[in-house]
Amino acid sequence: MANSQGIDTILWDVGGVLLSNAWDHAERHDALARFGLNEADFNTRHEPLVDSFERGELSLDDYLDQTVFYTRRPFNKEEFKRAMFALSQPNPDALQLARGLASSGKFLMATLNNESRELNEYRIQTFGLRDMFGLFVSSCYVGKRKPDEAIYRLALDITQKVAAQCCFIDDRAQNLQAPSRLGMKVIQMEGAAQLRERLAALGVKS
């Protein structure tokens, strides 16, 4: 049931909002440094693949075969994958906020994020996201990525909501432009306390 301002659907980015980023610049830098890999060489191989990787068209094994294991290494693929997964950390305050809103039963809760399939599924399982979200509009499942308008339109189609009923939360300003044009309320995440205040100003409370 919509509140007085009509918001009954909350779409959440995951990395940078609910959790740390999974495989962004900082995470890649840390992993490459840990394994003694050349960052410039890795990035040359990573950049042409990231779009397909996050659209679910390239598996994690295939991605690593082309970016890391195209040559013999003193470590194996499973070691590297474990290190990748371990980079994901929770944002406890934001998760608590999301959990409270989900438990209220007032809102349709969905994620809308860019993520490769294996990392996305690891994060959903590890951090209990299925307990909070009924839909996962993840790039690896739908074959579309932010900031392209198509993924936001698809989210509206899947939820069968009009844009004015939706609030989208992301930590990056560029990802808020398209949903704002479509008529969604948008919030740029700066911290859990700020997010709670911005949601409350829209009438979104648990």
Q: Which CATH class is domain 9-21+90-201?
A: alpha beta
CATH number of 25-86: 1.10.150.240
Rounded to whole angstroms, the Cα distance separating 183 from 39 reads 40
Confidence at residue 5, expressed as pLDDT on a 0 to 100 scale: 52
Confidence at residue 3, expressed as pLDDT on a 0 to 100 scale: 43
- Tokens matching residue 100: 């409270």
pLDDT in tens, 18-70: 999 999 999 999 999 999 999 999 999 999 999 999 999 999 999 999 999 99
Confidence at residue 63, expressed as pLDDT on a 0 to 100 scale: 98
Q: How confident is the model at residue 179 (pLDDT cuts 50, 70, 90)?
A: very high
Average pLDDT over residues 143-168: 98
- What type of residue is 57? E
Could you tell me the CA-to-CA distances from 34 to 24, 31, 197 in Å, in that order? 15, 5, 39
The closest of 6, 18, 8 to 130, measured between CA atoms, is 18
Q: How confident is the model at residue 172 (pLDDT cuts 50, 70, 90)?
A: very high
In the chain, CATH 3.40.50.1000 sits at 9-21+90-201
Q: What are phi and psi of 108, to 5 degrees?
A: -80, 125
181: pLDDT strictly greater than 70: yes
Average pLDDT over residues 59-85: 98
In the chain, CATH 1.10.150.240 sits at 25-86
- Burial pattern 85-96, b for ≥16 Cβ within 10 A else e, equals bebbeebeebbe
- Tokens matching residue 192: 């859990």
Contacts of 95 (CB under 8 A, 6+ apart): 18, 19, 127, 132
Q: Is the pTM of this model over 0.75?
A: yes
Mean pLDDT, the chain, rounded, equals 96
169: pLDDT strictly greater than 70: yes
Could you tell me the CA-to-CA distances from 27 to 22, 33, 173, 187 in Å, in that order? 7, 10, 20, 24
Average pLDDT over residues 125-148: 98
Burial class (CB in 10 A: 0-12, 13-18, 19+), 6: middle
Confidence at residue 119, expressed as pLDDT on a 0 to 100 scale: 98
